Amino acid sequence: MRQFSIKPETHKAVIDALDGADVQRKFRSLSQRLASDSWILSEPEFQDWMDSKSKTDDFLWIYGGEGKGKTPAATAVVKSVESTICKEKMESSDRAPTLLAYFFCDQIPDFCTAEDVVKSLLWQLCVHQDNLANYAKQFIPRAPSEHGGSNGSNNSTALGIENLCQSLRDMLTESTIGTVYFVICNLHELPEEEDSTKKLLSFVQSLIDSPQLQADKRVRTKWLFATRDRISIRRVLGSSDVVRQINLNDSEKYGDKVKLELQRHAWSKVDGLREQKGYNKAITYFAGSVIGNRAESTKWIDVAIVQLAALPAESNDIKVRKMLERVPQDFATLLDHAWRSEGLDAIKELLRALVLTYEDPTESELLVLAGLPAGEAKHKEELFKTIQKCRPLLTLRKSGDEARIGFVNADVKKHLHKNSNKLLDLPEDAIQLQHGILALRCFSHIMDNLTAALQSTIVAKSPTSSQSQQTQHQPVAMQGPVTAAGPGVSGAPDIGDDTEDEEIEFDFDDDESTDLDSTAQAPDTPQQAPILPYATRYWLQHASEATRDIAERLSLEKAFWEPDSEIRHLWLTEFERLTGAFDGLVVDKRLKALHVAASVGFPRLVASLLKAGYDKEVNEYDTYDNAPLHLAALFGKADIIEQLLEVKSVKLDDAGKNSSACTPLSMAAAGGKILVMKKLISKGANVNSVDVDIGPVINAAILSGNSDAVKLLIEHDAKLNYPEHEHEASDWPPPLALSALVSDLSMFQTILDAGNEVLSEEEYSKALVLASRSGRVEIVSLLFENEHGQDTFQKSLQAALEEENWDVTKLLLRHSQDILDCNDVFEKASTSVESLEDVLDEIWRHRQGQIDQEILNRCLYTATDNEKENTVKALLRMGADPNAEGALFGNALTAAANDGVTTDDGNVPIVQALLEAGATVTSDSGWALQAAAEQGHLAAVKLLLDYGADINHFSVQHSSGTALQAACDCGHEEVVEYLLSKGADPNKGGGRYEYPIIVASMQPKILPHLLAAPGIELNVVGGPGHGSPLVHAAASLPAEYIVQLIQAGADVNMVDLDGDTPLMAAALVGDYECVKLLLEHGADIMTISPNRGTALEVALEEGHDECIKLLANRAVFIQRQLQISAEREEGLALEIIEQERENRRYLHQQQQQQQQQQQQQQQQQQQQRQQQQRIGSDFGQQEPELEDQIGRLRLQDDDHDVDVDSLSQGGNGNPHPTTGEEEDSYQQGSW
């Protein structure tokens, strides 16, 4: 299969659908803690795996016990592969990209299931290579149809392990990518008993069993697994010679290297401790040596280091040495020894809470779990002191504004939990009680804070409230942080900070799995509810592991469970934001108590709620017509299903208000929940109920990808044949067709075999169309065993074309008995970036050589432009016109001559193929020779000339006109030389420079070839400024080239169309040598340009001192010669001198007249100022009379131009009429 593009919005939707574990963040965290290299990288097994160029897939298994360095090895491998990919990109950008995807399994959310592993691998591949998302589009959630079906579920292909693995298989058929590296570490952390884990191992087994690249698998893969030696893993990875192995437990072969790695780890930890504690060199040496030599695993080193770190900073060498000498050799003994600290009884309650947490809590969250108010500073201080007492094995890491408290690594917590009876006085039955205590502490926190927040909202809305109107209209979630101490109390954790957790003091982590504090990754969105995240997420989970009576106590909380409880709605909204558990469903008040308990609760809680009177909600619907039974089925709660079915009024096959939505059985099938399905079927559920969106129950099972779910339904007589009239109102496909689109081969075969006697021809035909769309070659081949009409083959061909499934296309053409319309397929295959001659040949055979000539020609032109040599030759064999035309290059020959990304000689094979097929070498529709010359493709130029191309042909469609001009314009010296040697006219050109010599006069490598050409004309103008060759050369080339032009006959005094001369050009750029050379060859300095003046004036304007001096000396010389001629009374000289004197006299007279005019103006201005001063004085003495005069003046005729307003403002106006010119002068202050 080949996929070349995807819409950005579709790509984003796929990325969002596959989003899960933050593998990049985890890798960064590991890289910061672990060594950047590993001895594994130098092992022959690894190097062979890394460097192998074979056509088979490669596998490497690194395995060993705890703390043997598997995770550091995997981390180093990832870095090594990343470095290799970087180098490949730098060396060549044209090769198929090499990709890397990795995963580090762990017992934390998003890292602990087989689905997490494969989903992350798909996500990484789609991020690295956009077009790979085409193979995961089936996971994009689709909105429910207008018919109201699907109960709000995505009705897309489920993210089950089968579907995920099939999507990965499909991606590995994409021919546009190169090798793909997969690095999977700690596979043993996945739950061995889970069905998905088994299916993932089966998937790996299938890859190992068939390492050769098959027809439907074009991508070579390299798989590296780093795990413990678990039996289930060994059956897959250890039983085949195909898998290379590095056994870290082999002390004879690798013992020294493993030991050296442990010593390096120990020294790195001791060096870090030295900087913190200020140890001297001697005690640092002693600690590093003792710990490194005694260590059997990295876990032992980490615990020993934290014990050492717990010693006071002022401890002397003797105390440090004594502690190290007493460190037990066994890891379990070491942990027991670590917990025997003084004052352990005082911290047991805190440890009892911490040992049962599902993720590392923040300070505020731990205070709630310990039963203390979270917002008071004194309690935080007490908590910190208590933690310090546990300091050897507890650690604090910064997370947002607060620290997270956790064990130094996962094994420390496991050991404490396993030995809780001995170390914490917490026997097995007391653990259940402790879970109940934690659950009720979290629940109380939620109730108290949300109740207080709601009350504050009510107060804010009352008319007498002193709250601002701005606060009144804010929802509870926006009224500031509320901690365990109540609303508005400062100190709540900022869970919106997604900054990497930073340890406050020291970080000693497991080399194989991330310690549990890393599970508490801060969400991407700001906190929305005034309740702590841990309490929000885990109170129900703690309750589910508590004693039986807690469910009854919780069911009595009416404020939480009542039908329209605002508290429950706020909690559930925050719960969904943190967990995404209700993905695809609307979380609103229509989710009643039983909805919540049936989906995220536990069986005893449901039973207690039913007894408490909530049984009437058993048939209540949420926004998407889901009753509690639907949600229990969707969430796979088989025990809760049992509880709900005991209610007599419950509807087993409830399909919503309109009886058109999913039934509970369909919901369970969509999730592949086998136990729930068995439970419902055993109670009589209808296996043939139909949803308007996804169709019958078996369609839901098909979408889940769980073949066991499909088999279960078939065993219980699920219907497989659905004639057209039964689903004509919807767009869901029949089961066989849906399976052909989304299933793997085994599931499809199951349905095909089961429906052998009942499926109609129409259903087989629909299956063929959808299988062609999905590109499943093996499924298409199976369907050819049935008869299909021409219309089915035509639809299938179109479906394969739309997804560019070329292997399927060939199969369809081979098996179709009727001649199909192949025009679109032929054109797509020939114009594709990929070479698909086999597809073209198949179409040509199928069509018996009957392809429209217009299509052949169009395809030939495009294939030529795409530089597809084999495709061009194939099309020519099929009868395409070698003179095929196109918009961009005119014809195919021009396109071939122009192209040549990978070679300097152009596409000579394509050019030759076109010429041999009869292409017109010189054509009005193209410009092949000009194009080849322009690109510098000498081999193509020679070939075209050998086939009789007109060397002097002028093309109006090409910017340069002739081939010689094109070569000169682009500076291709070899092409210029060759064209001239073959008789190209040196004076024939065009375009911007008009003549070859014009552009050559600016290119020193080309100029000598043009000057040597017979008949070259040098006194022409062209190019920028319409200058002569010598003008352009003087402005851009050294003096040596000026000499060549002059010697070849260029006129040194030729004036171009702008009136410039070569001397002016040289003076303009300040080229002293060039100016000197031109003067020596007779350049006239007296020539005057209408734009620039003389050459001397040009030099003066530009400030080129040396040129000024040179030109001035020449001007003085001319002046002296003129004076000498005048003294000899030579007529012309006397006339010139007399004319110059007359000019001076005229200028002198003009200057005198201007001076007189200025004096007169100054006198007039003085008189006016004096008169204004007198008027102002009289006005001050005779103001009443003057006001009366002003009034009379205002009544006078308009012909008297007197500035009356100026007089009334203080007597400073102008009393005389003024001209416009005088007014302007006045306004400017010149008077």
Quick: pLDDT tens for 428-449.
778 999 999 999 999 999 999 9
Q: For residue 860, is pLDDT > 90?
A: yes
Rounded CA-CA distance 813/793 in Å is 8
Average pLDDT over residues 517-541: 67
pLDDT grade, residue 650 (50/70/90)?
Answer: very high
Q: How confident is the model at residue 348 (pLDDT cuts 50, 70, 90)?
A: confident
Both 363 and 495 in a single domain? yes
Classify 1054 in phi/psi space as left (phi over 0), alpha (psi -120 to 50) or beta.
Answer: beta
* pLDDT, tens digit, 9 for 90 and up, residues 2-56: 555 678 899 999 999 999 889 998 898 888 766 666 788 888 898 889 887 777 7
Mean pLDDT of 81-90: 88
Residue for token pair 């180093």: 76
Could you report the per-residue pLDDT of 281-322, keeping only the tens digit for each? 777 787 777 777 777 677 677 777 766 776 666 666 677 767
Domain assignment present for 528: no
pLDDT recorded at residue 79: 92
Model pLDDT, residue 524: 41
| First-residue to last-residue Cα distance in the chain | 91
Q: Which residue has the higher pLDDT, 1192 or 413?
A: 413
Q: Which helix (H) or strand (E) holds 502?
A: strand 502-503
Length of the chain: 1231
pLDDT at 541 over 90: yes
Asked whether residue 646 is domain-assigned, the answer is no
Reference 855, options 845, 867, 843; nearest CA is 843
Cα separations in angstroms, 332 against 261, 304, 337, 954, 1008: 22, 12, 9, 91, 88
Average pLDDT over residues 547-567: 94
User: Is there a contact between 444 and 451 (Cβ–Cβ < 8 Å)?
Assistant: no
Whether the predicted pLDDT of 522 surpasses 70: no
What per-residue confidence (pLDDT) applies to 518? 39
User: Above 90 in pLDDT, residue 571?
Assistant: yes
Distance CA 362, CA 360 (A): 7
Q: What is the pLDDT of residue 346?
A: 52
Q: Per residue in 870-900, pLDDT tens?
A: 999 999 999 999 999 998 999 999 999 998 6
pLDDT above 90 covers a percentage of the chain that reads 46
Q: How many domains does the chain have?
A: 8
Q: Measuring CA to CA, which residue among 222, 199, 263 is closest to residue 69?
A: 263
Residues with Cβ < 8 Å from 883, sequence gap 6 or more? 891, 892, 893, 918, 919, 920, 923, 925
| Residue 283: per-residue pLDDT | 72
> Do 681 and 809 fall into the same domain?
no
455-459, 767-771, 1001-1005, 1129-1133: the lowest-pLDDT one: 1129-1133
Look at residue 930 and tell me whether its pLDDT is greater than 90: yes
**pLDDT value at residue 326:** 62
Q: Which of 615, 669, 668, 666 is nearest to 645 (CA)?
A: 615
Band the pLDDT of 57: cuts 50, 70, 90.
confident
The yes-or-no verdict on residue 752 having pLDDT over 90 is yes
Please give the angle made by the CA atoms of 614, 616 and 621, to the nearest 5 degrees: 105
Q: Which residue has the higher pLDDT, 603 or 276?
A: 603
* Same domain membership, residue 517 and residue 431: yes
Could you say which of 718, 736, 767 is where a domain stops? 718
Is the pLDDT at 1122 greater than 60? The verdict is yes
Reply yes or no on whether the pLDDT at 463 is more than 90. no
Within-domain flag for 620: no
Greater confidence, 1131 or 19?
19
Overall average pLDDT of the 709-724 stretch? 91
- Asked if the model's pLDDT at residue 486 lies above 50, the reply is no
Predicted pLDDT at 265: 73
Could you count the other beta carbons within 10 Å of the beta carbon of residue 410? Answer: 24
Domain boundary among 1082, 1103, 1128: 1128
The model's pLDDT over 907-917, given as tens digits with 9 standing for 90+, comes to 799 999 999 99
Stretch 320-343: mean pLDDT, rounded? 57
Which of 206-215, 634-643, 675-684 is least confident?
A: 206-215
- Do 1122 and 1110 lie in a common domain? yes
| Residue 794 backbone phi and psi in degrees, to 5 | -65, -45
Residue 359 CA to residue 349 CA, distance in Å, equals 17
1110 shares a domain with 1048: yes
pLDDT, one tens digit per residue, over 491-519 is 333 333 333 344 434 343 444 444 333 33
Q: Do 170 and 286 lie in a common domain? A: no
Read off the CATH number of the domain in which 1069 is found.
1.25.40.20
SS3 367: helix
1196-1213 pLDDT, tens digit per residue, is 444 444 343 443 344 433
Q: Rounded to whole angstroms, what are the CA distances from 87 to 49, 82, 197, 639?
A: 18, 9, 36, 56
- In-domain check, residue 1190: yes
> Do 41 and 178 share a domain, yes or no?
yes
Picking from 701, 718, 735, the residue at the C-terminal end of a domain is 718
Please state the rounded mean pLDDT for residues 699-718: 94
Amino acid identity at 1096 = L
Give 963-976 pLDDT, tens digit per residue: 999 999 999 999 99
Distance CA 316, CA 676 (A): 64
Are 376 and 424 within one domain? yes
Q: What is the pLDDT of residues 237-262, one digit of tens each?
A: 988 888 999 998 887 777 667 777 77
Tokens 């020596």 correspond to 1080
Q: Which pTM does this prediction carry?
A: 0.71
Residue 469 pLDDT exceeds 60? no
- Say what the pLDDT of residue 264 is: 75
- What integer pLDDT is reported at residue 638 of this predicted model? 94
Distance between CA atoms of 151 and 163, rounded to whole angstroms?
22
Mean pLDDT of all residues in 109-122: 93
pLDDT of residue 768: 96
Q: Tell me, yes or no, whether 600 lies in a domain.
A: no
Whole-number pLDDT of residue 252: 77
Q: Which whole number is the average pLDDT over 345-355?
A: 75
The tens digit of pLDDT for each residue in 768-819 reads: 999 999 988 999 999 999 999 999 999 999 999 998 899 999 999 999 999 9
Question: Residue 561 falls within a domain, yes or no?
Answer: no
Residue 347 DSSP SS3? helix
Beta bridge partners of residue 397, listed in sequence order: 404, 503
- Residue 327 is encoded by which pair of tokens? 């460190």
Per cent of the chain over pLDDT 70 is: 78
100 and 177 both lie in a single domain? yes
Q: What is the pLDDT of residue 963?
A: 95
Is the domain of 359 the same as that of 485? yes
708 with 727, same domain?
Answer: no
Does 3 map to a domain? Answer: no
Q: Name the average pLDDT for the chain.
A: 81
Instruction: Report pLDDT for 408.
Output: 73
Instruction: Report residue 1025's pLDDT band, with 50, 70 and 90 as the boundaries.
Output: confident
pLDDT greater than 80 at residue 336: no
The reply to whether 1041 and 1003 lie within a common domain is no
Q: Which of 16-30, 90-104, 130-144, 298-312 has the highest mean pLDDT?
A: 16-30
* Mean pLDDT within 137-151: 65
Q: Provide the residue range defining the domain that includes 115.
A: 8-141+160-249
pLDDT in tens, 184-205: 999 999 998 888 999 999 999 9
In a domain, 971, yes or no: yes
For the ranges 285-299, 559-573, 1042-1056, the lowest mean pLDDT is seen at: 285-299
